Structure 1
Amino acid sequence: MELVGKYLEISGEIAGRIEAENEKELLVRQAIFLDYNSGLCEQAVYVDKKVLDYYWVKVIALSTIPETVNSIDSTDLIRELLNM
Structure 2
Amino acid sequence: MSKQGRDTEFELEDVTAVFEERDDYAEPLTATEIADRLGCSRRTALNKLHRLEENTDLTSKKVGGRSRVWWIPVHV
- For Structure 1 versus Structure 2, the TM-score category normalised by the shorter chain is under 0.3
Q: Is the radius of gyration larger for structure 1 or structure 2? A: 1
Query: TM-score if structure 1 supplies the norm length?
Result: 0.25
Higher strand share: 1
> 1 or 2, which has the higher helix percentage?
2
